Amino acid sequence: MVNWYEEVQRREEKLLHDMDGLLRIPSVKQMETSAEGAPMGKEIGRALEYMLDLSSRDGFRIANLEGYVGYAELGDSPSDDYIAVLGHLDVVAATGEWTSPPYEPKIREGRLYARGAIDDKGPMLAAYYGLKIVKELGLPLRHKIRFIFGTDEESGSRCMARYRETEKLPLAGFTPDADFPIVHAEKGQINTRVMLAKAETPAEWPADEQPAGYLRSFYGGGTANMVPESARAVIAGEAPVLEHLACAYRAYCEGRGRKGTAQIEAGQIVLAMEGKAAHGMEPHLGVNAALELIHFLAPQSLQPDAERFLACVDTLLFEDYGGVALGIAFADEISGALTINSGILQFEPLGESFFHINLRYPVTDEASRILEVISERVGKYGFVVEPPLLKKGHHVAKDHPMIRILQQIYQETTGEEPTLLSTGGGTYAYHIGNGVAFGPLFPGKTSLAHQADEYIEVEDLLLSAAMYARAIYEMANAEYR
């Protein structure tokens, strides 16, 4: 019987050496350096060549699909069926303050720090070494194994779209790009703008109908799939009105425990609100600065278009992460509850006024139902829903052979219950049919993916590699028909 962890330990030094080389490549997507053979830019092209060179060194069959995707393959089955392991070589930009340079890997107190350490170069190398162990032990394989190196996971997955155009999909597969135990379901997504239809606005209102203030602009957020951490409104009006607004706003912020400022200048007041950023799939973990500011503005006397905009957003979105007010709340046992985030909000009296919705819905729900209800609700305020970008949900049944294999491996390795998880995010598992995410983040651990000082714990890396090696071997010898 193979002791998988001992096999990983024997190769720890080589694993960390190869990982160091990959982590030093700043493989951020740069279309300005796109070229033949490197469609995502020069540095991502370098990272793909690095992995293909390692694969060639280690004796795998390799292929490069025009720089979009590469793969390493093991096994001699005459069938074109195969098992897939998928990782991605692209990383997000290394913004923020780092303790050590993001592309100069450093191990401190048992943690390996670098951009890509946990998303996804570190886990990918751990899984690659799992495949390398299976090869070096000469273990028999019923199905071929293909390790797929993607290049565009962080910004559209054009790599996997190209792969699906040219290659047969695997029998089953996993990606080491989420959480342990097993993420077997990914919610569907709806992304769209909800636009305020313009009404006839008189140049001047009758004296008895004039609004107390005039909303010149409102801006909140800037990234659709993030909770806005800032918002700003500019309101014109008479001095007594502006002074009253400033006083009321300060009291509002104090009462709600929020950080906001009010500054009067040149016949207008600038209201600013600070919130807390969070990923759009978990809006409850953040504080939506835009919705907080709108909740203050909604009761104020402003011009009609502004009042319609504010009333709609405040009524249908404020402190409602599950779509209850919109009438779209839904949950299932497979993937949990629907979530909704509004990450970009804008009001311009002479320009576009809209709020963007980034919605994650359970796998048993339907986008058509959701959009129909939303259109009806927002229509009462004079809004229309733009044609949306849709992504269907994805899940693998809990009785699938791969699920049973991964659950047994996780339970026997960790002694913990191999609970099936779902996510509002997306991974490469979505693109291959019978795909799941398997690690690398263990329950209770913190991930700094996409943040400064990103790291992976070295011990977790080694334990993951041992599970990946066993998973590759057992999945390659399972029956799927």
Catalytic machinery residues: 90, 153
Give me the helices (H) in 167-211, please: none
CB proximity list for 204: less than 8 A, separation 6 or greater: none
Nearest partner of 375 among 187, 198, 195, judged by Cα: 195
Question: Are 166 and 40 contacting, i.e. CB atoms less than 8 angstroms apart?
Answer: no
CB proximity list for 326: less than 8 A, separation 6 or greater: 316, 317, 320, 340, 373, 374, 377
DSSP assigned state of 434: S
Question: Are 292 and 257 contacting, i.e. CB atoms less than 8 angstroms apart?
Answer: no
Cα separation of 278 and 78, whole Å? 48
Taken in order 363, 368, 371, 373, the sign of the CA dihedral is negative
Question: Are 329 and 380 contacting, i.e. CB atoms less than 8 angstroms apart?
Answer: no
Angle (CA) 326-385-218 rounded to 5° is 85
Structure-token pair, residue 64: 């490069």
What DSSP line would sit under 80-114, residue for residue? S-EEEEEEE--B----S--SS-TTS-EEETTEEES
- The angle that helices 12-23 and 121-136 make with each other, rounded to 10 degrees, is 140
Residue where the block lists tokens 């009253």: 244
CA dihedral 81, 85, 89, 94 (to 10 degrees): 150
Q: Are strands 82-88 and 69-74 parallel, antiparallel or unpaired?
A: unpaired
